[in-house]
Structure 1
Amino acid sequence: MNKPNTAPFAEWHAPAHWRAVDFISDLHLQAGDPATFDAWQQLLQAQHSQRADALFILGDLFEVWVGDDVLPSTAAPGSRTEADDHRFWRTCAAVLRTYSQHTPVFFMHGNRDFLFGTAALSACGMQGLPDPTVLVFQAQRWLLSHGDALCIDDTDYMRFRAMVRQPDWQRDFLAKPLSEREAIARSLRQQSQAHKAGTTGDSTRWSDVDEPTARDWLQRSDCNTLIHGHTHRPAQHDLGDGLQRIVLSDWDLNAQPQRAEVLRLDAQGPHRRLLAPASRHPCRRPV
Protein backbone atom coordinates (compact mmCIF):
# COMPACT_ATOMS: atom_id res chain seq x y z
CA MET A 1 0.00 0.00 0.00
CA ASN A 2 1.12 3.54 -0.65
CA LYS A 3 1.66 5.57 2.47
CA PRO A 4 -0.47 8.77 2.30
CA ASN A 5 2.19 11.06 3.74
CA THR A 6 5.95 11.08 3.25
CA ALA A 7 6.63 14.82 3.57
CA PRO A 8 8.02 16.40 6.76
CA PHE A 9 5.37 17.02 9.40
CA ALA A 10 4.27 20.59 10.04
CA GLU A 11 4.57 21.74 13.65
CA TRP A 12 2.72 24.27 15.78
CA HIS A 13 4.31 25.26 19.10
CA ALA A 14 1.77 26.40 21.66
CA PRO A 15 2.64 29.51 23.70
CA ALA A 16 4.05 28.73 27.15
CA HIS A 17 1.08 30.32 28.94
CA TRP A 18 -1.50 27.96 27.42
CA ARG A 19 -2.97 25.60 30.01
CA ALA A 20 -5.77 23.86 28.06
CA VAL A 21 -6.80 23.37 24.44
CA ASP A 22 -10.03 21.97 22.98
CA PHE A 23 -10.56 19.76 19.92
CA ILE A 24 -13.74 19.21 17.93
CA SER A 25 -14.49 17.73 14.52
CA ASP A 26 -17.28 16.39 12.33
CA LEU A 27 -20.04 18.78 13.36
CA HIS A 28 -21.27 18.86 9.74
CA LEU A 29 -23.00 22.17 10.37
CA GLN A 30 -25.85 22.83 7.96
CA ALA A 31 -28.94 25.01 7.80
CA GLY A 32 -31.23 22.01 8.13
CA ASP A 33 -29.81 21.01 11.53
CA PRO A 34 -30.42 23.91 13.92
CA ALA A 35 -30.03 21.74 17.03
CA THR A 36 -26.38 20.97 16.34
CA PHE A 37 -25.71 24.60 15.42
CA ASP A 38 -27.31 25.76 18.70
CA ALA A 39 -25.14 23.39 20.76
CA TRP A 40 -21.99 24.56 18.94
CA GLN A 41 -22.92 28.22 19.37
CA GLN A 42 -23.58 27.78 23.09
CA LEU A 43 -20.22 26.04 23.47
CA LEU A 44 -18.50 29.05 21.93
CA GLN A 45 -20.48 31.40 24.16
CA ALA A 46 -19.50 29.60 27.38
CA GLN A 47 -18.33 31.59 30.36
CA HIS A 48 -14.71 32.68 30.35
CA SER A 49 -13.85 30.30 33.20
CA GLN A 50 -14.95 27.33 31.06
CA ARG A 51 -12.95 28.25 27.96
CA ALA A 52 -9.71 26.68 26.84
CA ASP A 53 -6.79 28.76 25.59
CA ALA A 54 -7.41 27.65 21.98
CA LEU A 55 -9.85 25.69 19.86
CA PHE A 56 -8.67 23.22 17.21
CA ILE A 57 -11.26 22.19 14.59
CA LEU A 58 -10.03 19.00 12.91
CA GLY A 59 -12.18 18.99 9.80
CA ASP A 60 -15.78 18.68 8.65
CA LEU A 61 -16.99 21.64 10.63
CA PHE A 62 -19.37 22.13 7.71
CA GLU A 63 -21.47 19.55 5.90
CA VAL A 64 -20.30 21.00 2.60
CA TRP A 65 -18.27 23.96 1.36
CA VAL A 66 -18.33 24.79 -2.35
CA GLY A 67 -16.26 27.98 -2.27
CA ASP A 68 -15.60 31.12 -0.28
CA ASP A 69 -17.95 33.15 -2.49
CA VAL A 70 -20.89 32.07 -0.31
CA LEU A 71 -19.66 34.76 2.11
CA PRO A 72 -20.44 38.42 1.38
CA SER A 73 -16.88 39.68 1.81
CA THR A 74 -15.71 37.51 -1.10
CA ALA A 75 -18.76 37.39 -3.38
CA ALA A 76 -18.91 39.35 -6.60
CA PRO A 77 -22.10 41.43 -7.06
CA GLY A 78 -24.93 39.29 -8.34
CA SER A 79 -22.96 36.03 -7.99
CA ARG A 80 -25.09 34.54 -5.21
CA THR A 81 -28.67 34.29 -4.05
CA GLU A 82 -30.01 34.84 -0.56
CA ALA A 83 -30.62 31.13 -0.02
CA ASP A 84 -31.04 29.75 3.49
CA ASP A 85 -27.72 27.93 3.17
CA HIS A 86 -25.87 31.13 2.33
CA ARG A 87 -27.37 33.02 5.25
CA PHE A 88 -26.43 30.09 7.47
CA TRP A 89 -22.77 30.12 6.35
CA ARG A 90 -22.59 33.84 7.06
CA THR A 91 -24.04 33.30 10.52
CA CYS A 92 -21.43 30.61 11.22
CA ALA A 93 -18.67 32.97 10.07
CA ALA A 94 -19.96 35.71 12.38
CA VAL A 95 -20.04 33.31 15.37
CA LEU A 96 -16.48 32.20 14.70
CA ARG A 97 -15.24 35.74 14.13
CA THR A 98 -16.66 36.84 17.49
CA TYR A 99 -15.17 33.83 19.30
CA SER A 100 -11.75 34.23 17.67
CA GLN A 101 -11.46 37.75 19.05
CA HIS A 102 -10.71 36.28 22.49
CA THR A 103 -9.68 32.67 21.72
CA PRO A 104 -7.39 31.48 18.88
CA VAL A 105 -9.15 29.10 16.48
CA PHE A 106 -7.23 26.67 14.26
CA PHE A 107 -8.89 24.92 11.34
CA MET A 108 -7.87 21.76 9.48
CA HIS A 109 -9.65 20.73 6.30
CA GLY A 110 -11.91 17.69 6.32
CA ASN A 111 -13.33 15.71 3.44
CA ARG A 112 -16.49 17.88 3.38
CA ASP A 113 -14.91 21.33 3.68
CA PHE A 114 -11.57 20.88 1.88
CA LEU A 115 -12.39 23.90 -0.33
CA PHE A 116 -12.50 26.22 2.68
CA GLY A 117 -10.05 28.86 1.48
CA THR A 118 -7.92 31.70 2.78
CA ALA A 119 -10.68 34.27 2.30
CA ALA A 120 -13.08 32.23 4.43
CA LEU A 121 -10.40 31.66 7.07
CA SER A 122 -9.89 35.39 7.28
CA ALA A 123 -13.63 36.09 7.43
CA CYS A 124 -13.97 33.63 10.32
CA GLY A 125 -10.84 34.78 12.16
CA MET A 126 -9.29 31.30 11.97
CA GLN A 127 -5.79 30.08 11.20
CA GLY A 128 -5.40 27.13 8.83
CA LEU A 129 -3.37 24.03 9.70
CA PRO A 130 -2.01 21.47 7.23
CA ASP A 131 -3.04 17.85 7.65
CA PRO A 132 -1.25 16.37 9.56
CA THR A 133 0.27 18.81 12.07
CA VAL A 134 2.28 18.17 15.23
CA LEU A 135 1.07 20.24 18.18
CA VAL A 136 3.82 20.84 20.73
CA PHE A 137 1.94 21.58 23.95
CA GLN A 138 3.19 21.43 27.55
CA ALA A 139 6.43 19.72 26.52
CA GLN A 140 4.65 16.93 24.64
CA ARG A 141 4.07 16.25 20.95
CA TRP A 142 0.55 15.47 19.71
CA LEU A 143 -0.16 14.50 16.10
CA LEU A 144 -3.34 16.07 14.71
CA SER A 145 -5.21 14.96 11.59
CA HIS A 146 -8.72 14.91 10.19
CA GLY A 147 -8.17 11.20 9.63
CA ASP A 148 -9.48 10.54 6.13
CA ALA A 149 -5.99 10.26 4.62
CA LEU A 150 -5.40 7.27 6.91
CA CYS A 151 -8.42 5.29 5.67
CA ILE A 152 -6.38 3.74 2.89
CA ASP A 153 -8.50 0.59 2.53
CA ASP A 154 -11.26 2.74 1.00
CA THR A 155 -9.55 2.80 -2.38
CA ASP A 156 -12.43 4.52 -4.20
CA TYR A 157 -12.39 7.38 -1.73
CA MET A 158 -8.60 7.64 -1.78
CA ARG A 159 -8.67 8.02 -5.58
CA PHE A 160 -11.37 10.68 -5.26
CA ARG A 161 -9.43 12.45 -2.51
CA ALA A 162 -6.24 12.52 -4.58
CA MET A 163 -8.16 14.06 -7.49
CA VAL A 164 -10.03 16.80 -5.62
CA ARG A 165 -6.97 17.90 -3.63
CA GLN A 166 -5.12 18.76 -6.84
CA PRO A 167 -4.78 22.55 -7.39
CA ASP A 168 -5.83 22.23 -11.05
CA TRP A 169 -9.03 20.36 -10.14
CA GLN A 170 -9.90 22.91 -7.45
CA ARG A 171 -9.22 25.84 -9.76
CA ASP A 172 -11.48 24.36 -12.46
CA PHE A 173 -14.22 23.53 -9.97
CA LEU A 174 -14.20 26.97 -8.34
CA ALA A 175 -14.40 28.58 -11.78
CA LYS A 176 -17.85 27.05 -12.27
CA PRO A 177 -20.95 29.10 -11.39
CA LEU A 178 -21.93 28.81 -7.74
CA SER A 179 -25.26 27.20 -8.60
CA GLU A 180 -23.50 24.49 -10.61
CA ARG A 181 -21.06 23.80 -7.77
CA GLU A 182 -23.95 23.47 -5.33
CA ALA A 183 -25.71 21.03 -7.66
CA ILE A 184 -22.55 18.91 -7.90
CA ALA A 185 -22.22 18.94 -4.10
CA ARG A 186 -25.85 17.80 -3.70
CA SER A 187 -25.22 14.94 -6.12
CA LEU A 188 -22.09 13.85 -4.24
CA ARG A 189 -23.96 13.93 -0.91
CA GLN A 190 -26.74 11.80 -2.37
CA GLN A 191 -24.17 9.27 -3.57
CA SER A 192 -22.57 9.23 -0.13
CA GLN A 193 -25.92 8.71 1.57
CA ALA A 194 -26.76 5.90 -0.85
CA HIS A 195 -23.43 4.24 -0.02
CA LYS A 196 -24.14 4.45 3.69
CA ALA A 197 -27.64 3.06 3.15
CA GLY A 198 -26.02 0.17 1.29
CA THR A 199 -24.14 -0.70 4.47
CA THR A 200 -27.43 -0.62 6.41
CA GLY A 201 -26.26 2.48 8.24
CA ASP A 202 -23.77 0.43 10.27
CA SER A 203 -20.71 2.67 10.70
CA THR A 204 -18.62 -0.33 11.77
CA ARG A 205 -18.73 -1.51 8.16
CA TRP A 206 -17.28 1.74 6.84
CA SER A 207 -13.55 1.97 6.23
CA ASP A 208 -11.52 2.80 9.34
CA VAL A 209 -8.05 4.19 9.95
CA ASP A 210 -5.26 1.83 8.90
CA GLU A 211 -3.41 1.28 12.17
CA PRO A 212 -0.01 0.34 10.68
CA THR A 213 -0.08 3.64 8.78
CA ALA A 214 -1.12 5.50 11.93
CA ARG A 215 1.82 3.91 13.75
CA ASP A 216 4.14 4.95 10.93
CA TRP A 217 2.94 8.57 11.14
CA LEU A 218 3.44 8.61 14.91
CA GLN A 219 6.92 7.13 14.73
CA ARG A 220 8.07 9.49 11.99
CA SER A 221 6.63 12.54 13.75
CA ASP A 222 8.10 11.55 17.13
CA CYS A 223 4.66 11.58 18.74
CA ASN A 224 2.94 9.08 21.02
CA THR A 225 -0.68 10.13 20.43
CA LEU A 226 -2.68 10.77 17.25
CA ILE A 227 -5.88 12.83 17.64
CA HIS A 228 -8.27 12.65 14.70
CA GLY A 229 -11.89 12.65 13.60
CA HIS A 230 -13.62 11.54 10.37
CA THR A 231 -14.64 8.00 11.31
CA HIS A 232 -17.47 8.97 13.73
CA ARG A 233 -16.24 6.26 16.12
CA PRO A 234 -15.12 8.07 19.30
CA ALA A 235 -12.73 5.82 21.18
CA GLN A 236 -9.16 5.42 22.38
CA HIS A 237 -7.04 2.77 20.61
CA ASP A 238 -3.81 1.27 21.95
CA LEU A 239 -1.42 0.85 19.02
CA GLY A 240 1.33 -0.80 21.06
CA ASP A 241 4.78 0.43 22.08
CA GLY A 242 3.25 3.35 23.99
CA LEU A 243 1.43 4.66 20.89
CA GLN A 244 -2.27 5.45 20.76
CA ARG A 245 -4.91 7.19 18.71
CA ILE A 246 -7.84 9.14 20.12
CA VAL A 247 -10.88 9.47 17.89
CA LEU A 248 -13.04 12.57 18.26
CA SER A 249 -16.82 12.40 18.39
CA ASP A 250 -19.01 13.55 15.56
CA TRP A 251 -21.88 15.85 16.56
CA ASP A 252 -25.56 15.10 16.04
CA LEU A 253 -28.06 16.60 18.45
CA ASN A 254 -30.92 14.89 16.59
CA ALA A 255 -29.54 11.38 17.20
CA GLN A 256 -30.57 9.15 20.10
CA PRO A 257 -28.53 9.31 22.20
CA GLN A 258 -27.35 12.77 21.27
CA ARG A 259 -23.70 13.10 20.31
CA ALA A 260 -21.65 16.22 21.05
CA GLU A 261 -18.24 16.00 22.66
CA VAL A 262 -15.24 18.22 23.11
CA LEU A 263 -11.82 16.69 23.75
CA ARG A 264 -9.90 18.86 26.20
CA LEU A 265 -6.14 18.54 26.61
CA ASP A 266 -4.64 19.96 29.79
CA ALA A 267 -2.09 19.10 32.49
CA GLN A 268 -4.12 16.00 33.42
CA GLY A 269 -4.00 14.75 29.84
CA PRO A 270 -6.87 14.32 27.36
CA HIS A 271 -10.44 13.97 28.59
CA ARG A 272 -13.82 14.19 26.91
CA ARG A 273 -16.33 16.86 27.81
CA LEU A 274 -19.92 15.88 27.08
CA LEU A 275 -22.42 18.59 26.28
CA ALA A 276 -25.38 17.85 28.53
CA PRO A 277 -28.54 17.84 26.36
CA ALA A 278 -30.56 20.13 28.61
CA SER A 279 -28.04 22.79 29.58
CA ARG A 280 -25.34 22.25 26.93
CA HIS A 281 -22.77 22.76 29.71
CA PRO A 282 -19.81 20.39 29.23
CA CYS A 283 -19.39 17.53 31.71
CA ARG A 284 -15.98 15.90 32.06
CA ARG A 285 -15.44 12.16 31.57
CA PRO A 286 -12.32 10.07 30.91
CA VAL A 287 -11.13 9.45 27.33
Structure 2
Amino acid sequence: MSRTPESLNNAQNNTKPNLGLAKPTPTFPDLFLTAISLLFLFSSPKQNITLFPKFLPFPSNTRRFLKNPTMSHSRTPFATPQALSDWLKPRLPSDSLASWGVKPGTKNVHNLWLELSEGEISLLDSSPPLRTVNVVTVRILGKDNLVLVESRQELSDGSVRDRFRPLSEKMKPLETTEEAVARAVKEELGSVIDSGVVRIVPGSYRKKLEERNSVSYPGLPARYVLHSVDAWVEGLPEEEFCTEEKEEYEDFDGARGLEKAVSVRKHYWKWVSSDSLCS
Protein backbone atom coordinates (compact mmCIF):
# COMPACT_ATOMS: atom_id res chain seq x y z
CA MET A 1 0.00 0.00 0.00
CA SER A 2 1.49 3.25 -1.08
CA ARG A 3 1.57 6.34 1.13
CA THR A 4 0.85 9.84 0.10
CA PRO A 5 3.57 12.50 0.44
CA GLU A 6 1.58 14.10 3.25
CA SER A 7 1.51 10.90 5.28
CA LEU A 8 5.28 10.43 4.79
CA ASN A 9 5.99 13.91 6.13
CA ASN A 10 3.84 13.24 9.20
CA ALA A 11 5.68 10.00 9.89
CA GLN A 12 9.09 11.72 9.65
CA ASN A 13 7.98 14.46 12.03
CA ASN A 14 6.85 11.89 14.58
CA THR A 15 10.23 10.08 14.53
CA LYS A 16 12.53 13.14 15.11
CA PRO A 17 14.88 12.58 18.11
CA ASN A 18 14.43 14.73 21.27
CA LEU A 19 17.76 16.59 21.79
CA GLY A 20 16.77 18.21 25.08
CA LEU A 21 17.68 16.66 28.46
CA ALA A 22 14.67 15.36 30.26
CA LYS A 23 14.30 16.49 33.90
CA PRO A 24 13.12 13.60 36.02
CA THR A 25 10.21 14.33 38.28
CA PRO A 26 11.18 13.68 41.93
CA THR A 27 9.14 11.04 43.67
CA PHE A 28 8.01 11.03 47.30
CA PRO A 29 10.67 8.46 48.44
CA ASP A 30 13.44 10.64 46.96
CA LEU A 31 12.21 13.70 48.83
CA PHE A 32 11.96 11.71 52.06
CA LEU A 33 15.56 10.43 51.81
CA THR A 34 16.86 13.94 51.05
CA ALA A 35 15.14 15.35 54.12
CA ILE A 36 16.62 12.60 56.33
CA SER A 37 20.16 13.34 54.96
CA LEU A 38 19.86 17.05 55.70
CA LEU A 39 18.62 16.30 59.21
CA PHE A 40 21.72 14.20 60.00
CA LEU A 41 24.03 16.80 58.43
CA PHE A 42 22.90 19.70 60.59
CA SER A 43 22.36 17.73 63.78
CA SER A 44 25.83 16.08 63.84
CA PRO A 45 28.10 17.52 66.61
CA LYS A 46 30.80 19.95 65.46
CA GLN A 47 34.42 19.43 66.46
CA ASN A 48 35.48 21.75 69.24
CA ILE A 49 38.74 23.48 68.14
CA THR A 50 40.75 25.62 70.56
CA LEU A 51 43.54 27.84 69.24
CA PHE A 52 46.47 28.43 71.57
CA PRO A 53 48.50 31.56 70.78
CA LYS A 54 52.15 30.86 70.13
CA PHE A 55 54.46 32.70 72.51
CA LEU A 56 57.06 34.79 70.76
CA PRO A 57 59.95 36.50 72.53
CA PHE A 58 59.60 39.41 70.10
CA PRO A 59 56.53 40.91 68.41
CA SER A 60 55.63 38.88 65.33
CA ASN A 61 54.85 41.96 63.24
CA THR A 62 58.43 42.92 62.39
CA ARG A 63 57.28 45.18 59.58
CA ARG A 64 56.47 47.82 62.20
CA PHE A 65 60.14 48.21 62.98
CA LEU A 66 62.12 50.52 60.77
CA LYS A 67 65.69 49.89 59.69
CA ASN A 68 68.36 52.49 60.28
CA PRO A 69 68.71 54.43 56.99
CA THR A 70 72.06 56.04 57.80
CA MET A 71 75.21 55.59 55.78
CA SER A 72 76.85 52.20 55.42
CA HIS A 73 80.07 51.21 57.16
CA SER A 74 83.22 53.23 56.28
CA ARG A 75 81.42 55.54 53.85
CA THR A 76 82.40 58.78 55.59
CA PRO A 77 83.63 61.47 53.17
CA PHE A 78 86.30 62.46 55.71
CA ALA A 79 89.46 60.38 55.52
CA THR A 80 90.65 61.39 58.99
CA PRO A 81 89.30 63.08 62.13
CA GLN A 82 91.39 66.12 61.20
CA ALA A 83 89.58 66.40 57.86
CA LEU A 84 86.27 66.36 59.71
CA SER A 85 87.53 68.99 62.15
CA ASP A 86 88.58 71.24 59.26
CA TRP A 87 85.10 70.89 57.76
CA LEU A 88 83.40 71.72 61.07
CA LYS A 89 85.44 74.80 61.99
CA PRO A 90 83.76 77.31 59.63
CA ARG A 91 80.33 75.86 60.45
CA LEU A 92 80.45 75.91 64.26
CA PRO A 93 81.19 78.60 66.85
CA SER A 94 84.86 78.33 67.73
CA ASP A 95 84.21 78.11 71.46
CA SER A 96 81.81 75.19 70.94
CA LEU A 97 84.22 73.03 68.96
CA ALA A 98 87.05 73.84 71.36
CA SER A 99 85.01 72.49 74.29
CA TRP A 100 84.59 69.03 72.77
CA GLY A 101 86.44 66.47 74.88
CA VAL A 102 87.55 69.21 77.29
CA LYS A 103 84.32 70.04 79.04
CA PRO A 104 83.40 67.17 81.41
CA GLY A 105 80.87 64.77 79.95
CA THR A 106 81.52 65.72 76.32
CA LYS A 107 83.04 63.73 73.47
CA ASN A 108 85.53 64.89 70.85
CA VAL A 109 85.84 65.03 67.09
CA HIS A 110 87.39 61.55 67.05
CA ASN A 111 84.13 60.15 68.45
CA LEU A 112 82.10 61.97 65.82
CA TRP A 113 84.38 60.67 63.07
CA LEU A 114 83.98 57.10 64.35
CA GLU A 115 80.19 57.49 64.43
CA LEU A 116 80.26 58.60 60.80
CA SER A 117 82.62 55.79 59.82
CA GLU A 118 80.38 53.20 61.47
CA GLY A 119 77.30 54.60 59.74
CA GLU A 120 75.62 55.38 63.06
CA ILE A 121 74.91 59.02 62.18
CA SER A 122 74.59 61.39 59.27
CA LEU A 123 75.57 65.05 59.05
CA LEU A 124 73.63 67.65 57.12
CA ASP A 125 75.84 70.24 55.41
CA SER A 126 74.51 73.39 57.03
CA SER A 127 75.63 76.02 59.52
CA PRO A 128 75.62 74.55 62.04
CA PRO A 129 75.48 70.98 60.69
CA LEU A 130 72.60 68.77 61.85
CA ARG A 131 73.54 65.41 63.32
CA THR A 132 70.87 62.73 62.83
CA VAL A 133 70.99 59.49 64.79
CA ASN A 134 68.60 56.56 65.24
CA VAL A 135 68.44 55.47 68.88
CA VAL A 136 66.80 52.44 70.45
CA THR A 137 65.43 53.00 73.96
CA VAL A 138 64.56 50.01 76.15
CA ARG A 139 62.32 50.47 79.20
CA ILE A 140 63.27 47.39 81.20
CA LEU A 141 60.41 46.48 83.52
CA GLY A 142 60.85 45.16 87.04
CA LYS A 143 58.72 44.27 90.02
CA ASP A 144 56.22 46.63 91.65
CA ASN A 145 55.95 48.99 88.67
CA LEU A 146 59.69 49.71 88.62
CA VAL A 147 61.78 50.60 85.58
CA LEU A 148 65.55 50.28 85.19
CA VAL A 149 67.40 53.53 84.47
CA GLU A 150 71.04 54.39 83.95
CA SER A 151 71.75 56.92 86.68
CA ARG A 152 75.23 57.95 85.47
CA GLN A 153 78.22 56.99 83.34
CA GLU A 154 81.92 56.96 84.04
CA LEU A 155 83.94 57.97 80.97
CA SER A 156 87.45 56.96 79.95
CA ASP A 157 88.77 60.46 80.72
CA GLY A 158 87.64 60.10 84.34
CA SER A 159 84.63 62.39 84.08
CA VAL A 160 81.14 61.38 85.21
CA ARG A 161 78.02 62.12 83.20
CA ASP A 162 74.55 62.09 84.77
CA ARG A 163 71.91 60.25 82.75
CA PHE A 164 68.72 59.13 84.55
CA ARG A 165 67.23 57.51 81.48
CA PRO A 166 66.40 53.97 80.32
CA LEU A 167 68.89 51.85 78.42
CA SER A 168 69.68 53.61 75.13
CA GLU A 169 71.97 52.73 72.24
CA LYS A 170 72.74 54.14 68.80
CA MET A 171 71.48 51.86 66.05
CA LYS A 172 73.74 50.34 63.42
CA PRO A 173 73.07 50.64 59.67
CA LEU A 174 70.18 48.42 58.47
CA GLU A 175 69.63 47.16 62.02
CA THR A 176 66.07 46.39 63.13
CA THR A 177 64.74 47.51 66.48
CA GLU A 178 64.70 43.90 67.70
CA GLU A 179 68.36 43.42 66.78
CA ALA A 180 69.34 46.72 68.37
CA VAL A 181 67.55 45.82 71.62
CA ALA A 182 69.35 42.47 71.88
CA ARG A 183 72.72 44.09 71.16
CA ALA A 184 72.17 46.94 73.62
CA VAL A 185 71.28 44.55 76.45
CA LYS A 186 74.30 42.37 75.70
CA GLU A 187 76.77 45.26 75.47
CA GLU A 188 75.65 47.30 78.48
CA LEU A 189 74.18 44.68 80.82
CA GLY A 190 75.95 41.51 79.71
CA SER A 191 78.54 41.65 82.48
CA VAL A 192 75.90 40.94 85.18
CA ILE A 193 73.52 38.52 83.46
CA ASP A 194 74.17 35.01 82.18
CA SER A 195 71.30 34.02 79.92
CA GLY A 196 70.41 37.47 78.68
CA VAL A 197 66.86 36.40 77.77
CA VAL A 198 65.01 39.46 76.47
CA ARG A 199 61.26 39.59 75.89
CA ILE A 200 59.83 42.66 74.21
CA VAL A 201 56.32 43.55 75.35
CA PRO A 202 54.01 43.13 72.33
CA GLY A 203 52.52 46.40 71.14
CA SER A 204 54.94 48.56 73.15
CA TYR A 205 56.90 49.92 70.16
CA ARG A 206 56.81 53.69 69.77
CA LYS A 207 58.61 56.03 67.38
CA LYS A 208 59.35 59.62 68.32
CA LEU A 209 61.35 62.46 66.78
CA GLU A 210 63.25 64.91 68.99
CA GLU A 211 65.51 67.82 68.07
CA ARG A 212 67.77 69.39 70.67
CA ASN A 213 71.34 70.49 71.24
CA SER A 214 73.71 67.61 71.76
CA VAL A 215 75.18 67.13 75.23
CA SER A 216 78.09 65.15 73.82
CA TYR A 217 78.92 67.75 71.15
CA PRO A 218 78.07 71.28 72.38
CA GLY A 219 76.93 73.63 69.63
CA LEU A 220 75.99 70.77 67.29
CA PRO A 221 72.20 70.38 67.01
CA ALA A 222 70.92 66.83 66.88
CA ARG A 223 67.85 65.09 65.55
CA TYR A 224 67.08 61.90 67.46
CA VAL A 225 64.83 59.29 65.88
CA LEU A 226 63.82 57.33 68.98
CA HIS A 227 62.61 53.73 68.68
CA SER A 228 61.36 52.75 72.14
CA VAL A 229 60.04 49.46 73.52
CA ASP A 230 59.21 47.95 76.90
CA ALA A 231 60.96 44.69 77.73
CA TRP A 232 61.64 42.09 80.40
CA VAL A 233 65.23 40.96 80.95
CA GLU A 234 65.94 37.91 83.08
CA GLY A 235 68.72 37.72 85.66
CA LEU A 236 69.13 41.39 86.59
CA PRO A 237 69.99 42.34 90.19
CA GLU A 238 67.14 43.81 92.23
CA GLU A 239 69.36 46.41 93.89
CA GLU A 240 71.52 49.17 92.40
CA PHE A 241 74.42 47.79 90.37
CA CYS A 242 77.24 48.73 88.02
CA THR A 243 78.30 47.24 84.67
CA GLU A 244 81.45 47.57 82.61
CA GLU A 245 81.47 47.95 78.84
CA LYS A 246 84.15 46.90 76.40
CA GLU A 247 85.81 49.49 74.22
CA GLU A 248 83.06 50.73 71.90
CA TYR A 249 85.11 50.76 68.69
CA GLU A 250 87.88 48.31 69.56
CA ASP A 251 87.21 46.21 66.44
CA PHE A 252 87.14 49.15 64.06
CA ASP A 253 89.23 48.31 60.98
CA GLY A 254 90.73 45.35 62.84
CA ALA A 255 92.32 47.49 65.53
CA ARG A 256 91.41 49.28 68.70
CA GLY A 257 89.40 52.46 68.25
CA LEU A 258 91.29 55.70 68.14
CA GLU A 259 92.86 56.24 71.53
CA LYS A 260 91.85 59.89 71.54
CA ALA A 261 88.14 59.01 71.45
CA VAL A 262 86.24 59.24 74.73
CA SER A 263 84.43 56.03 75.68
CA VAL A 264 82.12 54.83 78.45
CA ARG A 265 83.86 52.60 80.97
CA LYS A 266 81.13 52.00 83.56
CA HIS A 267 77.35 52.23 83.69
CA TYR A 268 75.51 52.75 86.99
CA TRP A 269 71.94 51.42 87.19
CA LYS A 270 69.03 51.65 89.60
CA TRP A 271 65.32 50.85 89.72
CA VAL A 272 62.88 53.76 89.89
CA SER A 273 59.12 54.13 89.79
CA SER A 274 57.76 54.30 86.25
CA ASP A 275 55.82 57.41 87.29
CA SER A 276 59.09 59.30 87.75
CA LEU A 277 60.00 58.92 84.06
CA CYS A 278 58.70 61.28 81.42
CA SER A 279 56.80 59.53 78.64
TM-score class normalised by the smaller sequence: under 0.3
Structure with the higher fraction of residues in helix conformation: 1
Higher Cα Rg: structure 1 or 2? 2
Q: TM-score, normalised by structure 2?
A: 0.25
Q: TM-score, normalised by structure 1?
A: 0.24
